[in-house]
Structure 1
Amino acid sequence: MTPLPGGRLVPPTRNTQAKLDRLARDEVRANETPQHSVAAILALGANLGNRAETLDAAVRDLSDVPGILEVTLSPVVDSVAVKLDGPDPDAPGYLNAVARVRTTLSPRDLLAAGAEIERAHGRERLERWGDRTLDIDIITYGDLEIETPTLTIPHPRAVERDFVLGPWWALDPDAILPGVGPVAELLRALQTTPIETERP
C-alpha cells in the first residue's frame, strides 16, 4: 500500500496491483533453472582493441561456462557505433555477431556469465552506450518474455538494431523474435540487407 500524509495507507489500484504481480512473476521466471536445455540468442559486440580476437575469445569463454552446452556463432558484421544521441561515425566502429547457445542456466545466471566474460576482457561501465572492449546482451531465451528492473527478454531494442538482426538472420533465416515476429520481416522493415564482413 502507498502511505499518504497523516499515515493513512491507500491500497494499490487494480492496474498497479497487476503490474506488481507481473513484476513478481517475472522476477521468479528470471531466476528459474530450466528442466531441459534452452536455446538463447546472445548479441556480441566490440569496438575497442583487437575486435576480432576479442569476439573469438568471447565465444571460447562462453563454451567454457558450466551450463552452456553449445555455442554457434553467426557471420560477423561491421557497424557504426550507436551512442545515446544516435549513430556516431566518428567513434570506433563495431564488429558485431550473435551467438546461439544451448544452456541449462537460468536467464539471470546467463546474464551474470556474460557480464563476467565482459569484465575478463576489460569492460568498464563508465559511460552509458560508451565504447567498449566487449558487450554481451541476451536477446532471447527460448520464447520467454519478461521485464524486470535489471533484465528484459527479449532485448527491448533488438527490433531496431540491424547489427543484431542481420547476423541473427544470417545464422537462422527462420528466426522469430518472441512477441514481435520473424527476424526477416523486421530486417525488411529497417530496409537493411545484412552484409558479411571479413575478419581483420
Structure 2
Amino acid sequence: MNRRLAQGIQVTEPQPGPAVPAIVALGSNLGDRVALLNAAIADLGRLPLTSGVHVATPIETVAVRPDGPDADAPAYLNTVALISTRLAPSILLSYLHAIEDRHGRERRERWGDRTLDLDLIVYGDLRVDTPRLTVPHPRAAERPFVLDPWLQLDPDAVIPGLGRVDALRAQLEQDR
C-alpha cells in the first residue's frame, strides 16, 4: 500500500508475503492444563494475518529434563497446531512468547515446569538459525510429543532438511 505524505513524499509500506503453513507445539504441566491449552489455541486464532488453526488431540506425556524423562514432575499435556500465517517467523515467535507470558509463563530454568510452552517447530520450508530463532526446531525430531500429534494433522508432514515426520517417528521407536 502506498501513502502520500506532506510535500509529495511517497512511502511504500511493506506488504506481508503469501500465507505459509507453520507448526506450533503447545505444552502445559502446571495449572489447569486443558484450560491453558484452550486459551492459547484461541489466542493463536486471533493472531493478525493468521488463519486456519487446526489442532491435534492433546496427549499426556512425562516431563523431559536435560538429563532425560522425569516421572516425578507434573505430567505435560501436549499438542500441535497447524496454522496458516503471513506473519514473518520472528514476529510469529514474538507473538508466541506474548501468549506464554499472558498465561503465566515464568522462565526460571531451562526445561522447567511451566503453565504454557509454545514452540515454533516449522515455518513452511524455511530454515533459520539465529541466536533468537531456529527453525526447524532443533529438537523436534527427537520428541514424540511433537511428532505424534503432528502426524494426526498431517500424515505426510516433513521437517525441512530432516525428512518425513512418520519416518523420524519410526526411527525414534527403533532407537529405543
Q: Is this a same-fold pair by TM over 0.5?
A: yes
Give the unaligned 5+ runs of structure 2: 1-13
Task: Give, in angstroms, the shift of residue 170 of structure 1.
Answer: 1.2
Task: Give, in angstroms, the shift of residue 46 of structure 1.
Answer: 0.2
Contact 1:33 1:106 in 2 (8 A): no
Runs of at least 4 residues of structure 1 off by over 3 A? none
C-alpha offsets along residues 60-104 of structure 1, whole Å, 9 cap, x if unaligned? 011111121221101111110001211100000000000000011
TM-score, length-scaled by structure 2? 0.89
Match of 1:58 among 33, 40, 55: 40
Contact 1:75 1:171 in 2 (8 A): no
In the other structure, the counterpart of 2:90 is 108
| Greater per-residue strand proportion | 2
Q: 1:33 to 1:164 in 2, by over 3 A?
A: farther
C-alpha offsets along residues 16-38 of structure 1, whole Å, 9 cap, x if unaligned? xxxxxxxxxxxxxxxx9752111
> Residues 152-167 of structure 1 correspond to what in structure 2 (within 5 A)?
152-167=134-149
C-alpha offsets along residues 134-176 of structure 1, whole Å, 9 cap, x if unaligned? 0000000000011001100000000100000010011111101
Which structure has the larger Rg?
1
Letter in 2 for 1:70: G
Q: Quick one: distance in 2 between partners of 1:50 and 1:125? A: 18
Contact 1:40 1:100 in 2 (8 A): yes
Q: 1:47 to 1:34 in 2, by over 3 A?
A: same
Q: Quick one: distance in 2 between partners of 1:140 and 1:177? A: 7
Q: 1:96 to 1:170 in 2, by over 3 A?
A: same
Root mean square deviation, CA, Å: 1.3
Q: How many residues align?
A: 161
Q: 1:33 to 1:150 in 2, by over 3 A?
A: farther
Match of 1:94 among 76, 85, 97: 76
Match of 2:67 among 70, 80, 85: 85
Match of 1:144 among 120, 126, 131: 126
Q: Quick one: distance in 1 between partners of 2:63 and 2:15? A: 35
Q: Quick one: distance in 2 between partners of 1:114 and 1:33? A: 21
Contact 1:67 1:103 in 2 (8 A): yes
Which secondary structure does the structure 2 equivalent of 1:95 belong to? strand
Match of 2:57 among 75, 78, 90: 75
In the other structure, the counterpart of 1:39 is 21
Q: Quick one: distance in 2 between partners of 1:34 and 1:169? A: 29
Identical-pair percentage: 54
C-alpha offsets along residues 112-136 of structure 1, whole Å, 9 cap, x if unaligned? 0000000010000011110000000
In the other structure, the counterpart of 1:117 is 99
Q: Quick one: distance in 2 between partners of 1:169 and 1:40? A: 14
Give the unaligned 5+ runs of structure 1: 1-31, 193-200
Q: Quick one: distance in 1 between partners of 2:128 and 2:161? A: 11
Q: Quick one: distance in 1 between partners of 2:58 and 2:25? A: 11
